[in-house]
Chains A and B, each alone.
Chain A
């Protein structure tokens, strides 16, 4: 790990100013950044430690929704009683992510800035070509081992998968990222790779995530996060789905449906086609399974990751039908 200078920020403004300087990066939980610095992927000149800032770790939940401070820890949000009762998919996405130790360290703001787990991206010594690391250098993943790579939202430049869980639930429920005064829908916060896979987030130097806001909805209250993976725990998703349902007064006709996918795309992936196909209908298993196929519209595989195209719609269908069973 290359050395860097260390600055402990004592105010939000000081943090933003220091982090706007060339070569500077914000340091929160460090679970991605210190790891990538050891891999030789992140080479900051200076780190601006924001973990000693106060007032940015609150979790406020009321009828209108939840506002979670950027420095709230993943584990604390997962275990928060009101998050569990009003936003079960958020809690489930969090406690199924990483390990208890990492969840105690990692912050909600830092979670949104998590980088891909693409093994080629993480290994600059052996794989110098990576458009995400070095724009224009090529892609080592294409033609390589692609079992964990994306099938949705890919480009000719990059097929790296977005690995997170929380943001999948956040896009399903129209969460908003607060960058101080500026606010961005979380779906717009994450960028498709296109020709610039190095640019992953709609955040500019000198900006810092201050909070995440999740509107309170009936669909968020009746929601779940289903994560399918190669091992039972402490593993990234092979495919996952955040789903929320609101029924009409008859208790069986779908008024509102939210579906987002994880583990299969280059960014947290909202599947509006599935939502639109099922709104106004009942929860008939065959219709749900047929509609769930719309989740992977436009999917392109790169060999070993073909299974995700088969798996993802089944995960979506199972999540929707399970939520229906709790009616």
Chain B
């Protein structure tokens, strides 16, 4: 099969990248396989687990169901772009403090989702956090600590 590639220009974590990709390449595969940004995880690869959550123009989306070519011209943020000048984002710090993970595989997606959840104003109560974080599965079952971390971070971000 002939492989036709197209030029794709991506802005990720404040850096510009010029890539040559097959049109079917997802943002997730471009991040991991082409750019070495392996913080974004591949779980189910079908939009069911949330491990690949990144921000496009400040909103949380699933990189596994997004074509890389689609997000040309958009601003993309991954877990690698969350810290500022070496200082952890308050959500990252809260996950550490609350021990909000076990194996850690879902954690980058959880954190990216949580940052957006707080920004959207959907972290007002434990029930609301559970509802609006439902797209991020944790098979270790660290959910109680994840909710606690998001509650803590939401208070810090708001104050």
- Interface size class, chain B: 35 or more
The listed residue (B23, B50, B66, B73) touching A4 by CB distance below 8 A is: B23
Contacting pair B53 A233 (CB below 8 A): no
User: In the complex, how many residue pairs between chain A and chain B have their CB atoms under 8 Å apart?
Assistant: 92
CA distance A3 to B135 in the complex (A): 28
Please tell me which stretch of B32-40, B78-86, B99-107, B116-124 contacts chain A, meaning at least 4 of its Cβ atoms lie within 8 angstroms of it.
B116-124
CB atoms of B6 and A6 under 8 A apart? yes
B59 at interface, CB cutoff 8 A? yes
B23 touches A105 (CB 8 A): no
Inter-chain CA distance A4–B67, complex, in Å, is 12
Are the C-beta atoms of B131 and A2 separated by less than 8 Å?
Answer: no
Name 20 A/B residue pairs within 8 A (Cβ), A-sorted.
A3-B4, A4-B24, A5-B4, A30-B65, A30-B66, A31-B62, A34-B67, A51-B70, A52-B73, A99-B136, A100-B116, A100-B120, A100-B122, A100-B133, A101-B50, A102-B47, A102-B62, A104-B61, A233-B130, A233-B131
Q: A3-B3, A47-B67, A232-B130 are in contact. List 6 more A-B contacts (CB 8 A).
A: A3-B22, A79-B120, A100-B120, A105-B61, A105-B65, A105-B66
Cβ-closest chain A residue relative to B109: A101
- Report the Cα distance A47→B135, complex, angstroms: 27
The 7 closest A-B CB pairs, nearest first, are A99-B135, A6-B23, A233-B134, A234-B134, A34-B65, A104-B59, A3-B24
A47 with B62: CB separation less than 8 A: no
Asked whether A8 is an interface residue with its Cβ less than 8 Å from the other chain, the reply is yes
Q: Which of A98-140 contact B (CB under 8 A)?
A: 98-102, 104-105
Q: Which of A29, A79, A101 has the most CB of B within 10 A?
A: A101
What residues of chain A lie closer than 8 Å to B116, measured between beta carbons? 100
Known: A3-B22, A4-B24, A30-B67. A38 touches B135 (CB 8 A): no
Cα distance A75–B60 in the bound complex, in angstroms? 11
**Which residues of chain A have C-beta atoms less than 8 A from B91's C-beta?**
none
Which residue of the partner chain B has the closest CB to A2? B24
Q: Which of B's residues lie within 8 Å of A, judged by CB?
A: 1, 3-4, 6, 22-24, 26, 45-47, 50, 53, 59-62, 64-67, 69-70, 72-73, 113, 116-117, 120, 122, 130-136
How many angstroms from the CA of A8 to the CA of B71 in the assembled complex?
A: 11
Contact A5–B23 (Cβ < 8 Å) = yes
A49/B24 in contact, CB under 8 A: no
Complex CA gap A47/B6 in Å reads 13
Q: Give chain B residues whose Cβ lies under 8 Å from the Cβ of A5.
A: 4, 23
Q: Are A99 and B50 in contact (CB under 8 A)?
A: yes
Tell me the complex Cα distance, A99–B4, Å: 34
Give chain A nearest CB distance to B9 CB in angstroms.
12
